[in-house]
Structure 1
Amino acid sequence: MADRLSLLLETRPWLLADGATGTNLYNMGLAPGEAPDLWNETNPGKVLDLHKAMVASGADLILTNSFGANRSRLRLSNAVDKVAALNHRAASLAREAADAAGREVLVAGSMGPTGELMAPMGRLTEADATAMFTEQAEALKAGGADLLWIETISAVEELRAAAQAARAVDLPWCGMMSFEPGGRTMMGVTPMQLASLVERLRRPPVAYGANCGTGPTELLQAVAGFAAAGSERPMIAKPNAGVPRYHDDGLIYDATPSVMAEFAVLARDLGVRLIGGCCGTTPQHLAAMRDALDQQPRGPRPTAETISKRMDHAMAQAEE
C-alpha cells in the first residue's frame, strides 16, 4: 500500500513543507544553548503554537520538534533517558496540530545528524548510528509520525544508517543533505553522488534533496545538480532564509518573505516537489511562499544563471 506522502504527491504538483523549528523557538523564548527538543516537555504549548502557525501559513507537511532528540545529542543535556519520551511527545504535538487543520497535513518525524563523526574518521560505527536512529524512529512512529524526515546529513554512512532505521520501523522516509557553497557536504558528498546513493539503498526514500546551507541561491544550485543526475524521484528544497544576525534580542535572517517567495517559485519551476524553509524561515515567510506558489503560473526550468540573477534581484529589492 502506498504511503500518505506518495499518495498526496500523486494528486499535487508540489507540497509546501514548513519553516524553521529551532530558530523560531529561540525567538519564542528558548534560551541560548538550550536544546529545543526539551521544550516538548517543558513548553509544549509553545511548540504546538508554532506547528499551528505553520499550518495556518499553508504548510502541507510539518516537522516534529525532534531534530536533535537522539541519544548522542541529548547526552549533552543530561537527557539520554528521555529519548523515547521526547520523540513521542514531539510527534504527538505535531499530530495534534495536523489533525486540527481541517485538511490533509502530514507529520514528518525530524531526525538530524548524531553530532558524532562516523568511522573511520570518528568512533561512531554505522551499526551504532543505526541503533541510535532506530530508537528515535520507534518513538516518533508511536507518537503519530506519518514518515521520517532525515535532514542536514553530511556523511554517506550516516544517511545509510538513518535509512536502515526507517526500514527497521517500517516507515516511509525522506532524506536531505546540507551542501556548502562549494557544492559538497562537509564530508565531501556532491549532489550527484547523493542522487546515485539513494537509488542504491535497500529502501530508497520517497523523496530526497537538500536543506539548511547558506541560503536559497546556493541550495537551488545543489538541487539543479540532482536534476542533472536524471533521477525521477521527487526532490526536496528547504534552505535557510539567508544569513542570520541578532536584532532586538532576537535572531533574524536576511532573506525576507519576498525573497523566499521567489525561491519557492524557482524551486517549483526547477521541478522540486517538496518546498519549504529551514533556519530563519518564519510563518510569515511561509505564507508568502504559499501565496507565490498558488498565484504565479509555472515557468520554464531556470538555468543556473537565471537562478542567480533572479535571487540577486530579489535580495536587492528587499534591501531597498
Structure 2
Amino acid sequence: MSVSRDPLSVLLAERGFLLADGATGTNLFNMGLSSGEAPEFWNTEYPERIHALYASAVEAGSDLFLTNTFGGNASRLKLHEAQGRVRELNRIGAEIGSEVADKAGRKVLVAGSMGPTGEIFAPMGTLTHEVAVEMFHEQAEGLKEGGADVLWVETISAPEEYKAAAEGCFLAGMPFVGTMSFDTAGRTMMGVTSADFVKLVGKLAHPPVGFGANCGTGASDLMRTVLGFAAQGPELPIIAKGNAGIPKYVDGAIKYDGTPDLMADYAVLARDAGASIIGGCCGTMPEHLRAMREALDTRPRGERPTLEQITAALGPFSSASDGTEAPGCGDPSHNHGRERRGRRRS
C-alpha cells in the first residue's frame, strides 16, 4: 500500500491534524474491569461495553480510536491460556470498532492497537525476531479481518521489538504507526532516546506512516520528547499521546490528576511543538478529549514552545534529563533500563 494513500495519511492531509482517543484501561476499569483480567475478553463477553468505549471517544470529537486489543498477542494471551484466540479477539475488537465508525456521521478511523509482547529478546531473553514477527503478524491479520483502517503499535521499549512489529504489519499488508514509551529519564526502559528513535524509524525497511510517544510519565515529559523528535526534522507525522497528569493513589484506586483544562493546554502545546496526531493515554477520559478538541479547533497556532513554557503549563519534568546528553552524561550506547513485563496501557 502506498504510504500517500493509506487512510491515516489521507485523513491527515484533509484535516491538518487529528485528535486520537484517550485511555482504554482507565475507562474499562470504570466500567467494572478487574485488575488482572484480560480486557480483550470483553470483546466477546461484553461487546456492548466495548461499543460504548469506542463511541465515547467518537462523541467527544476523536478522529480515530484504538481497538481494545493492546494485549491481544499470543504471548500476552498465553498468561490467560487464550493464545489460541488471537485472531478471534482481535477480529471482533476491530469489528465492533468498524460498526461505531460507520455510524459516526463523519470519517473516523479504526486503529488496531498492538502492544508489546512482554518478553525479552535474545540473547538476554528467549524471544527471537522470527517468533516476534509471527506473533505481531498473527495479531495484525486478525485486526485486518475485523476492518481496522490502520495498525497502531504502542508502548514499545526495545528497538528489536519495534522492528519485529513493523515486519509483522508489512506481512499483513497493513499501514501502521508505532509509538514508544519514554518513561526512564527521557529514554525508553531499554535506553532509546528521542533522537535514537527518529534514526531507527528512518532506517526501517518497512517504515510506519507516523511515529511518536505514548504513555510514559506525565504530559510534560512527553512534550519534551516530542520536541526531541521535531529537532531531528523527521518527514513522518509525529504522534503525541500523553497521560492525563500523574497517577495518585486516592481512596483505594489510582487516579490521574490531569484536568480537562490541563489536557487542553497539552494538546495545543503538542500541536505547536510539531505533533499532528494528538491524543491521550492513561487517565484520559471523554471529558478530557472534549476539552482537547475544543482547544485544537479554536486556539490559533503558536510558536514552538520552550521547556519553560511547557513546565509552566503542565507541571515539572520527572527528571532533569531528556536522555540525549553528551557521552558521560547519558551515553545512548549505555543501556540503563530493562524490558517491562506485563505492563498494560491504561
Which band: TM-score by shorter chain? Answer: over 0.9
> Which amino acid counterpart does residue 184 of structure 1 have in structure 2?
R
The letter of the residue matching 2:64 is L
SS in 2 for 1:66: coil
Other-structure match for 2:296: 293
Aligned match of 1:229: 232
Deviation at 1:250, TM superposition (A): 5.0
Secondary structure of 1:108's counterpart equals strand
- In the other structure, the counterpart of 1:91 is 94
From 162, 165, 174, the equivalent of 1:162 is 165
- Give the TM-score taking structure 1 as reference length: 0.95
Structure-2 residue corresponding to 1:253: 256
Query: 1:70 touches 1:132 (CA, 8 Å); kept in 2?
Result: yes
**Structure 1 or 2: more helix by fraction:** 1
Aligned counterparts of 2:296 and 2:61: Cα–Cα separation in 1:
11
Deviation at 1:126, TM superposition (A): 1.1
CA distance in 2, matches of 1:220, 1:311: 9
| Structure number with higher relative contact order (C-alpha < 8 Å, ≥ 6 residues apart) | 2
**2:226/2:274 contact within 8 Å kept:** no
Note the alpha carbon deviations across 1:90-120, whole angstroms, 9 max, x for none.
0001111111100000011000000101112
Matches within 5 A, 1:204-219: 204-219=207-222
Correspondence for 1:120: 123
Contact 2:262-2:313 at 8 Å conserved across structures: no
Secondary structure of the corresponding residue to residue 241 of structure 2: strand
Quote the RMSD (CA, aligned, Å).
1.2
Cα distance, 1:243 vs structure 2: 2.1
Percent identical residues = 57
Aligned to 1:35: 38
Question: Using the alignment, how far apart are the partners of 1:120 and 1:30 within structure 2?
Answer: 36
Q: Is this contact kept in 1: 2:22–2:284, CA < 8 A?
A: yes
Equivalent residues in 2 for 1:278-317, closer than 5 Å: 278-312=281-315
Aligned to 1:149: 152
TM normalised by structure 2 equals 0.88
Counterpart of 2:242, as a letter, is P
Aligned residue type for 1:312: G
Query: Does the residue aligned with 1:273 lie in a helix, a strand or coil?
Result: strand
In the TM superposition, residue 184 of structure 1 has moved relative to its aligned partner by 0.5
Match of 1:199 in 2: 202
CA drift of 1:82 comes to 1.0
- SS of 2:121's partner is coil
Q: In structure 2, how many angstroms separate the alpha carbons of the residues matched to 1:248 and 1:13?
A: 42
Q: Which amino acid aligns with 1:190?
A: T
- The answer to whether residue 178 in structure 2 is matched with residue 175 in structure 1 is yes
AA of the residue aligned to 1:127: E
- Please show how residues 267-286 of structure 1 align to structure 2 within 5 Å: 267-286=270-289
2:331 alignment counterpart? none
Q: Aligned partners of 1:216, 1:136: CA distance in 2, in Å?
A: 29
Number of residue pairs matched? 313
Match of 1:77 among 62, 77, 80: 80
Residue 315 of structure 2 aligns to a residue in which SS? helix
Q: Quote the Cα distance in structure 1 between the aligned partners of 2:122 and 2:311.
A: 37
Give the Å deviation of 1:247.
4.3
Aligned match of 2:190: 187
- After superposition, the Cα gap between the structure-2 partners of 1:231 and 1:40, relative to the gap in structure 1 and judged at 3 Å, is same
